[in-house]
């Protein structure tokens, strides 16, 4: 099979569910983005030379102004409309206050409780809304980070 006949490569995306005081971090996508005007979790594409967990924390800081630490892997999802797959991490807030990136990708960032999601007037991207509610309700199966892995990887989840 020649390279031209190979299926297109899968793009790896990452997202974070960052928790602080029973609230989850959401960012609102800026004008000119594919989800303009909608709230979502911080997310983005893994760049060359970085691991998925590094990319997730970078995107959280860039899009939401928050430094976080990964506590585990929530899951993986394939997208039906793109040749993409996503890894979603549960994170704990470490420092910083939510702030957008100045309008390049995000124009707002904030923590929301379940009750605040119920009364939010702005649209929430449907998958992010579904996932955020599951996390806030404790309806998840976390795969924790495993520091005792004999391969000594940068990050492992088992």
Average pLDDT for residues 43-51, to the nearest whole number? Answer: 94
Q: What is the pLDDT of residues 99-144, one digit of tens each?
A: 999 889 999 999 999 999 999 999 999 999 999 999 999 999 888 8
CA–CA separation, 129 and 120 (whole Å): 11
Is 96 in contact with 66 (CB distance < 8 Å)? yes
**145 or 21, greater pLDDT:** 21
Report domain 9-144's class.
alpha beta
**96 or 155, greater pLDDT:** 96
Which tokens belong to 100? 């957008």
Burial (CB count within 10 angstroms: exposed 0-12, middle 13-18, buried 19+), residue 140: middle
Burial (CB count within 10 angstroms: exposed 0-12, middle 13-18, buried 19+), residue 54: middle
CA–CA separation, 45 and 135 (whole Å): 22
Q: Map out the domains of the chain as residue ranges.
A: 9-144
Does residue 1 surpass a pLDDT of 60? no
CA–CA separation, 148 and 133 (whole Å): 32
**What is the pLDDT confidence band of residue 3, given thresholds at 50, 70 and 90?**
low
Does residue 4 surpass a pLDDT of 70? no
């Amino acid at each position: 099979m020649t390279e031209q006949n190979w299926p297109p490569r899968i793009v790896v995306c990452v997202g974070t569910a960052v928790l602080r005081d029973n609230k989850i971090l959401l960012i609102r996508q800026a004008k000119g983005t594919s989800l303009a005007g909608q709230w979502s979790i911080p997310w983005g594409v893994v760049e060359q030379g970085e691991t998925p967990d590094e990319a997730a924390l970078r995107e959280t800081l860039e899009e939401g102004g928050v430094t976080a630490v990964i506590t585990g892997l929530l899951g993986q999802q394939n997208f039906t409309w793109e040749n993409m797959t996503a890894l979603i991490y549960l994170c704990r807030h470490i420092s910083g206050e939510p702030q957008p990136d100045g309008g390049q990708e995000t124009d707002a960032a904030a923590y929301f409780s379940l009750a605040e999601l119920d009364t939010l007037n702005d649209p929430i991207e449907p998958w992010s809304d579904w996932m955020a509610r599951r996390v806030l309700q404790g309806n998840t199966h976390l795969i924790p980070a495993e520091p005792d892995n004999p391969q000594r990887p940068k990050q492992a989840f088992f």
